[in-house]
Amino acid sequence: MKKLAVVAFGGNALLQAGQKGTIEDQEKNAYEASKQLLNLLKRNYNIVISHGNGPQVGNILLSDQAGTQVHGLPSMPLDICVAYSQGFIGYIIEQQLRNVLAANDMDRDIMSIITMVLVNKDDPAFQNPTKPIGPYYSQEDAEKIMKDTGAKFKEDKKRGGWRKVVASPRPLVISNKKSIEQLARSGQIVIAVGGGGIPAFYVAPNKLQGIDAVIDKDLASALLAKQIGADKLFILTDVPKVCLNYNTPQEKTIDRMTIADARKYLSDGQFAEGSMAPKIRAAVDFVENTGKDAIITKTTLLGIDDGGTRIVMV
């Protein structure tokens, strides 16, 4: 019987630092990321892919603001921007993954599922935005935008710049999870919970409504992996392994980490919010609730023996 893996691509798998973000850039990046999935397919895994959207949804908001200011078009709320990003990112991943499969004489159906995720409208995250989206700005430019628009920005000292931050509530219920599991276990490649899912809540009994937020894609991926009985969770980022004392002379990579170790490192402030910290929390959540391993690594090391940091129960 084939194993089932959830693979969470970071937003940088499609749009990397320093790139303008053209569709050509994102297609090329998606092709390279998709090639790494072959390692899992050849190891007898069925796959569900999730993906980040931080850079892309920020760019969608910038385009939306320009349309509103220049042409008087109605502004799109953040949940609609997330849905927008799910559609076009899913399309790019599907297109390039089909190219990869064809080049390797493999045939699978690939489908993107626009995925809504329920959140609590009273989640404390709405009072303390932490999720970075969009491009990096200088402090001067960030302060001007904050003054002009009321948006909130925070500095990322390790990466050198300021980014807009929005609420990131905890995901509670993933829509269509039964169908996602059935499709994946039947051998189809499914793309789901893109950007953490489209955030929604019940404004009244039996009445759903979107809400301004971007759910962390790693937490949503861990929740999906739990709910579909995945055998492994892969969280992909831009470093080969999790590091202690990151970007300092004392930096040290970690090959294996228990959930007890992970909690201690989190409490010690080893991992930055909006960066590695949510990945560690997502991995801990999956491992603690399933007893199965999670791996955090770079896209190019996906499915490679000893690649990445393995998070385990004990």
One-letter amino acid at 288 equals E
Q: What is the pLDDT of residue 170?
A: 95
Residue given tokens 């995720």 in the structure block: 117
Q: What per-residue string of b and e applies to 231-265 under the rule 16 or more CB within 10 Å gives b? A: ebbbbbbebbbbbeebeeeeeeebeebebebbeeb
> Which position among 29, 59, 131, 298 bears the catalytic label?
131
DSSP string, 221-255: HHHHHHHTT-SEEEEEESSSS-EESTTSTT-EE-S
So where are the chain's domains?
A: 1-35+50-122+168-230, 129-166, 239-314
Tell me which DSSP letter residue 13 carries. Answer: G
- How would residue 131 be classed by pLDDT, with cut points 50, 70 and 90? confident
Does residue 11 carry a pLDDT above 90? Answer: no
pTM higher than 0.85 for the full model?
A: yes
- How would residue 95 be classed by pLDDT, with cut points 50, 70 and 90? very high
* Catalytic residue check, 131: yes
Does residue 257 carry a pLDDT above 80? Answer: yes
DSSP string, 259-308: HHHHHHHHHTT-S-TTTHHHHHHHHHHHHHHHS--EEEEEGGGTT-TT-S
Token pair of 240 as six digits:
């080969």
Distance of CA 211 to the CA centre of its chain: 18
DSSP string, 57-89: HHHHHHHHHHHHHHH-PPPPPHHHHHHHHHHHH
> Which position among 35, 164, 177, 279 bears the catalytic label?
279
Total number of residues shown for the chain: 314
> Which position among 35, 164, 217, 298 bears the catalytic label?
217
Please tell me which of 9-23, 70-84, 144-158 the model is most confident about, judged by mean pLDDT: 70-84
Q: What is the pLDDT of residue 15?
A: 74
Q: What is the pLDDT of residue 16?
A: 75
Does residue 205 carry a pLDDT above 70? Answer: yes
Please tell me which of 69-73, 226-230, 273-277 the model is most confident about, judged by mean pLDDT: 226-230
∠ at Cα 47 (43, 53), nearest 5°?
130
Residue 53 makes CB contacts below 8 A (sequence gap 6+) with 11, 82, 85, 86, 89, 194, 195, 196, 214, 217
Give the closest residue to 28 by CA, choosing from 20, 46, 111: 20
Mean pLDDT estimate for the chain: 92
* Catalytic residue check, 279: yes
- Fold classified for 1-35+50-122+168-230: Carbamate kinase (3.40.1160)
* Catalytic residue check, 217: yes
What does the pLDDT look like over 157-167, one tens digit per residue?
A: 766 789 889 89
Q: What is the pLDDT of residue 231?
A: 97
> Which position among 12, 46, 53, 59 bears the catalytic label?
12
Token pair of 63 as six digits:
């385009």
Does residue 17 carry a pLDDT above 90? Answer: no
The mean pLDDT value for 46-69 works out to 86
What does the pLDDT look like over 169-187, one tens digit per residue?
A: 999 999 999 999 999 999 9
Does residue 12 carry a pLDDT above 70? Answer: no
* Catalytic residue check, 11: yes
What does the pLDDT look like over 259-300, one tens digit per residue?
A: 999 999 999 999 987 789 999 999 999 999 999 999 999 988
> Which position among 11, 58, 90, 134 bears the catalytic label?
11
> With 0-12 CB in 10 A as exposed, 13-18 as middle and 19+ as buried, what is 66?
exposed
